[in-house]
Amino acid sequence: MRILYLNTTYSGGGAEKVTRQIYDGMKKRGHDVYEIVCYNRHGIVEDEHVHVLYNGTVGKVLMRLQTANRANEDLTISYAINYIEQFVKKHKIDLIHLNNPHDSFLGIRDIGKLTEWCPVVWTLHDFWALTGHCAFPFGCDDRWKMGCTACEHLENYPRLRRDVCKKLFEYKQQYLCRKGIHFTVPSEWMKDQVKESYLKNEKCTVIYNSLNIDQWKPLDKQIIREKYDCVTEKFVLAFVAADMKIPQKGMNYLKEVLEQLDPEKYMLLIAGKCSDELNEASKKFEIRNFGYIKEQEKMNEFFSMADVLLNPSVYETFGLVNIEAMASGTPVVAFNICVMPEVIGIEGGWIVREVSADALCSRLDSLEKDRTEVEEKAETCVECVREYYNEEEMLDAFDRLYETIKKERQNGR
């Protein structure tokens, strides 16, 4: 089968990792795979089957000119959709697998147009398809379910400069419904959100995100800590966020936690761009910042150094870092929000019932005092990943879905 993957960027956060997993996995299974992305944040793409629409400084300027400085209000982005149309016809694409199309990669009308050329699978990594504008309706109080009228959170990614959310919501209803798009989501919780949205009558399948369990494994903490000059008797916390300024990642709670915990008993490891607030906190709390980690092996080592992953996120559709930590033998401490209880469960860590820094600190203090509990959970969290988040099972599910959808299209259904 000839499959075209579409995503806003080539490398970045969880959505990009999952897209690469599926792309590489289907390639190994003998499919002819291609990918078109809007831009690439890190390095150079060496795969000749991956096409970047806007390369370099000139490309970025061109993109901003074409999209009104990435205003995220477009119904169509001519350059992108015309490029994709010609590509689909030239390479005789059998199926398009859409991932994140926002951030001015594709316009709303463009997405519906994709279905005119071949079947479309759309994996919803966030809420953008369900709302008037934002990927995560943080602070919305479910107003998105009623049509996104009078939006009070235009700053939520991807941000809007003016409140046209209601109009964009109506356009999504017009151009995305009844087009034959088959949606997939990474959790039962996310499927419940789809069923409460205007897409409730569209086909939707749950396919969990996953890991290659041959690559992710528990490593000897003492050896890895020595390798990174991080030998300590303190209770080691890990925190990961590609962009720590995103409100739903829980930075405010993390800062409060660092203010309350005893710096003589704890230290913090960070993967991602460190915020100014955490740089300030490091003056009194031991913090090691590893920056943005691109290599899977190094990420495995990062998690293995920690006793627990502290994930204070307040809005998640899956949270790939959770299962990456669990596969490394590092259980997770997280709030009882959204998908967290479903993904982490009782095997993968501890769900804190109250969303507060006090509740996080209370749980962390109990674990620091009884590290036997942490060691026992380290074993069960690895088994949890092996049972529920095996990459081969995810690829099998997508393979079956692709074949079913292709046959349905051929039979005119």
Helices (H) and strands (E) in the chain, counts: 15, 13
Kindly state the percentage of the chain with pLDDT values over 90. Answer: 73
Q: CA 119 → CA 88, 128, 332, 354, 404, distances in Å?
A: 11, 21, 38, 43, 10
Ranking 38-52, 349-363, 369-383 by mean pLDDT, the lowest is: 38-52
Token pair listed for 111: 């997405």
Q: Would you mind telling me the total number of residues written for the chain in this entry?
A: 413
Q: Would you state the pLDDT for residue 276?
A: 65
Q: Would you state the pLDDT for residue 344?
A: 97
The residues facing 288 across adjacent strands are 269
Instruction: Give the model's confidence band at 275: pLDDT under 50 very low, under 70 low, under 90 confident, else very high.
Output: low
Q: Is the per-residue pLDDT at 69 higher than 70?
A: no
SS (H, E, C) 306-370: CCEEEECCCCCCCCHHHHHHHHCCCCEEEECCCCHHHHHCCCCEEEECCCCHHHHHHHHHHHHHC
Q: Would you state the pLDDT for residue 225?
A: 96
| Mean pLDDT of all residues belonging to the chain | 92
pLDDT in tens, 248-269: 888 899 999 999 999 999 999 9
Q: Is the per-residue pLDDT at 224 higher than 80?
A: yes
Nearest to 366 by CA among 286, 308, 288, 305: 308
Nearest to 84 by CA among 37, 22, 47, 48: 37
Ranking 39-53, 273-287, 380-394 by mean pLDDT, the lowest is: 273-287
Q: CA 297 → CA 108, 217, 242, 328, distances in Å?
A: 38, 10, 17, 11
Amino acid at 253: Y
Instruction: Give the model's confidence band at 279: pLDDT under 50 very low, under 70 low, under 90 confident, else very high.
Output: low
Q: Which stretches of 45-187 are DSSP H helices?
A: 56-66, 78-90, 108-114, 165-176
**Could you tell me the sign of the dihedral formed by the alpha carbons of 318, 320, 323, 329, in that order?**
negative
Of the ranges 103-112, 155-164, 274-283, 306-315, the best mean pLDDT one:
306-315
Instruction: Give the model's confidence band at 185: pLDDT under 50 very low, under 70 low, under 90 confident, else very high.
Output: very high
